[in-house]
């Protein structure tokens, strides 16, 4: 029941938000609804053991509304539930035209994301996978930047192709299940020939790789992140990319262990290429948003490489990092949005000296930046350390090459910090004031999450421990 509420609360709230009067009522309502969802998610997290919900849906197709929350699903629902109030708080002062529709769509996307993480039925999973996409498509296209239409459409077509390929995979698996059912358990039990397994692996993997995104499927991402309204960018990079990572762990690895092992080398090499490539481009960026976008590709690359090492430590790292990256990147976006809203530019070359005008923001930005570099004592360190550990055991050379990306991350992140908050004030940054209360609140909460999990990550590891061990016991 709790799991159902996690989806229904944002879904119903989203639909209600559409009919609310334009203006402040919608955003207050959305904030309250997201806090309610957070409360439910916390209940879910503190309930021990697997919780679930099951109801009949399409009997003649063998599909049921089955929701299950194991550790990984709980962790990601928590991430989703934490992110939305933070986002709504941070953008509370932003004025959106047709605010009611904006917040309605945001809440609908939250419902879709929750569904993706909780669904334990393949067809239901597919539904939520798309439900998360459509609102985001509208959000980006209506409230986005100048080039929004073309850019978000590229994003849409990419993911739509991926979804359709996955749909074929789902159908094929479905007809090979013993009991003609879409349930996760039946899918796990399907026996395929080696060749079939390889084809299925790629049909699913391309869908998820596009979402993450992994090199060479990443080309939609920087443009989409840049052009979207920042609130949506936060959803996309903080949570939506985790859909891809999550889906690989939940669906691909247990279903196609042999094909995954066979293709591991290729996937890891692609991921590492993506990491280095994205890091190098990030260094060259002048636009803060684009820099964060490329840095995000690099971080996701590490996660996807670690997933395929077939190493339990690395998988623990992926779990922590999914949560940490989600929180950290939202923090970075909040600051980027703040700077853009205040000064009207995101170009580092036009900024500088903000530390003198906005000391609190400077401190918070430094903390976010250090978390992005994965410095010890920040939450990202634990995850990256565990992932590199696993990657090192898998292949030393690959780990070494991937390690370069840490150095590169320090280069572009600290460079950004330096150019934005230090140096001389100029005409543009003269106008800067320190951060408003609502943004401060959101960032302080994020900072707390960064530091608390940086020092004491054990609760997160305990939470996702069952999912990880289940993954490795099966083999």
Residue 56: its H or E element: strand 51-58
Stretch of 54-62, 223-231, 381-389, 453-461 lying at the interface with other proteins (CB under 8 A): 54-62
Q: Which of 171, 363, 404, 441 binds other proteins (CB under 8 A)?
A: 171
φ/ψ bin of 377: left (φ > 0), alpha (ψ from -120 to 50), beta (otherwise): left
Restricting to residues 59-78, name those near other proteins by CB under 8 A.
59-60
Alpha helices in 54-98, H assignment, sequence order:
71-90
| 157 forms part of the interface with other proteins (CB under 8 A) | yes
Q: Please identify, using beta-carbon distances, which residue of 133 and 241 lies nearer to other proteins.
A: 133
Smallest distance, Å, CB 15 to other proteins? Answer: 12
User: Please, what is the Cα angle at 78 between 202 and 167, to 5 degrees?
Assistant: 25
CB burial of 215-227 (b: ≥16 within 10 Å; e: otherwise) equals bebbebbbbbbbb
* Residue 193 interacts with other proteins (CB under 8 A): yes or no: no
- Residue 45 or 131 with smaller CB distance to other proteins: 131
Minimum gap (Å) between residue 200 Cβ and other proteins? 10
Contact (Cβ atoms closer than 8 angstroms) between residue 203 and residue 255: no
Closest CA to 40 of 67, 1, 95: 1
In angstroms, give the least distance from the CB of 178 to other proteins. Answer: 15
Residues 431-450 that bind other proteins (CB under 8 A): none
Query: Whole-number minimum distance, CB 218 to other proteins, in Å?
Result: 18
CB of 24 to other proteins, least distance (A): 21
Our CB check for other proteins shows the closer of 36 and 134 to be 134
- Cβ proximity to other proteins, 98 vs 347, nearer residue: 98
Residue 329 CB: number of other CB atoms within 10 A? 28
| CB-count burial class (<10 Å; 0-12, 13-18, 19+) for 21 | exposed
Q: Smaller CB distance to other proteins: residue 165 or 283?
A: 165
C-alpha closest to that of 333 among 219, 230, 447: 230
Q: Is 202 in the site for other proteins (CB under 8 A)?
A: no
Q: How many residues bind other proteins (CB under 8 A)?
A: 28
Distance in Å from the first CA to the final CA of the chain: 31
Tokens of residue 178, six digits: 């013993």
What's the CA gap between 455 and 306, in Å, rounded?
A: 22
Axis-axis angle for helices 24-46, 2-19 (nearest 10): 180
15: contact with other proteins by CB under 8 A: no
Q: From residue 29, give the alpha-carbon distance in Å to each of 5, 13, 23, 24.
A: 17, 8, 11, 8
- Which lies closer to other proteins via its Cβ, residue 162 or residue 274? 162
Residue 55, SS3 per DSSP: strand
130-154 burial by CB neighbour count: b if 16+ within 10 A, else e?
ebbbebbbbbbbbbbeeebeebbbe
- Smallest gap from Cβ 126 to other proteins, in A, equals 7
Bridge partners (DSSP) listed for residue 89 = none
Site for other proteins in 406-425 (CB under 8 A): none
Does the footprint of other proteins cover residue 175 (CB under 8 A)?
yes
Hey, which residues between 109 and 148 contact other proteins (CB under 8 A)?
Answer: 126-127, 130-131, 134, 138, 141-142, 148
Nearest distance in Å: CB 84, other proteins: 21
Range in contact with other proteins (rule: CB under 8 A) among 66-74, 155-163, 382-390, 447-455: 155-163
To other proteins, the closest distance from the beta carbon of 125 in angstroms equals 11
Q: Which of 153, 287, 403, 461 binds other proteins (CB under 8 A)?
A: 153
φ, ψ dihedrals at 20, nearest 5° = -70, 160
Closest to other proteins by CB, 157 or 377: 157
Contacts with other proteins, residue ranges (CB under 8 A): 57-60, 126-127, 130-131, 134, 138, 141-142, 148-149, 153, 156-157, 160-161, 164-165, 167-168, 171-172, 174-175, 199
């Amino acid at each position: 029941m709790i799991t159902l509420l996690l989806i229904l609360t944002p879904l119903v709230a989203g639909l209600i938000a559409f009919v609310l009067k334009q203006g402040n009522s919608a955003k207050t309502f959305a904030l309250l609804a997201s806090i309610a969802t957070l409360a439910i998610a916390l209940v879910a997290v503190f309930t021990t053991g697997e919780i679930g919900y099951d109801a009949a849906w399409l009997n003649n197709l063998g599909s049921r509304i089955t929701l299950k929350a194991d550790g990984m699903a709980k962790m990601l629902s928590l991430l989703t539930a934490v992110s939305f109030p933070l986002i709504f708080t941070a953008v509370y002062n932003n004025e959106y035209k047709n605010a009611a529709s904006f917040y309605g769509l945001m809440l609908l996307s939250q419902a879709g994301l929750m569904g993706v993480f909780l669904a334990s039925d393949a067809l239901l999973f597919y539904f939520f996978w798309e439900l998360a996409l459509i609102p985001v498509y509208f959000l980006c296209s209506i409230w986005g930047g100048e080039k929004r239409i073309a850019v978000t459409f590229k994003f849409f077509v990419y993911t739509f192709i991926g979804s359709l390929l996955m749909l074929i995979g789902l159908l094929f698996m479905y007809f090979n299940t013993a009991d003609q059912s879409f349930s996760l358990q039946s899918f796990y039990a399907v026996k395929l020939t080696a060749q079939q397994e390889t084809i299925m692996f790629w049909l699913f993997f391309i869908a998820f790789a596009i979402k993450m995104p992994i090199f060479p499927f990443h080309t939609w991402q920087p443009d989409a992140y840049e052009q979207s309204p920042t609130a949506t960018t936060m959803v996309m990079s903080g949570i939506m990319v985790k859909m891809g990572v999550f889906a690989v762990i939940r669906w691909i690895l247990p279903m196609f262990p042999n094909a995954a092992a066979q293709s591991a080398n290729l996937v890891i090499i692609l991921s590492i290429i993506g990491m280095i490539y994205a890091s190098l481009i990030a260094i060259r960026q002048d636009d803060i948003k684009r820099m964060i976008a490329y840095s995000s590709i690099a971080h996701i690359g590490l996660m996807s490489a670690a997933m395929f090492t077939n190493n339990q430590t690395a998988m623990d790292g992926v779990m922590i990092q999914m949560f940490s990256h989600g929180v950290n990147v939202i923090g970075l976006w909040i600051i980027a949005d703040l700077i853009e809203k205040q000064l009207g530019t995101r170009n580092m070359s036009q900024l500088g000296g903000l530390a003198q005008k906005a000391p609190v923001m400077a401190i918070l930005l430094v903390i976010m930046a250090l978390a992005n570099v994965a410095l010890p004592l920040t939450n990202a360190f634990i995850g990256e350390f565990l992932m590199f550990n696993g990657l090192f055991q898998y292949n030393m050379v690959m780990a070494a090459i991937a390690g370069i990306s840490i150095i590169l991350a320090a280069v572009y992140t600290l460079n950004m910090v330096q150019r934005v908050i230090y140096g001389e004030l100029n005409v543009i940054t003269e106008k800067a004031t320190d951060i408003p209360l609502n943004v401060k609140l959101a960032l302080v909460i994020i900072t707390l999450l960064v530091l608390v999990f940086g020092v004491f990550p054990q609760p997160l590891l305990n939470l996702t421990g069952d999912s990880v061990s289940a993954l490795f016991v099966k083999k």
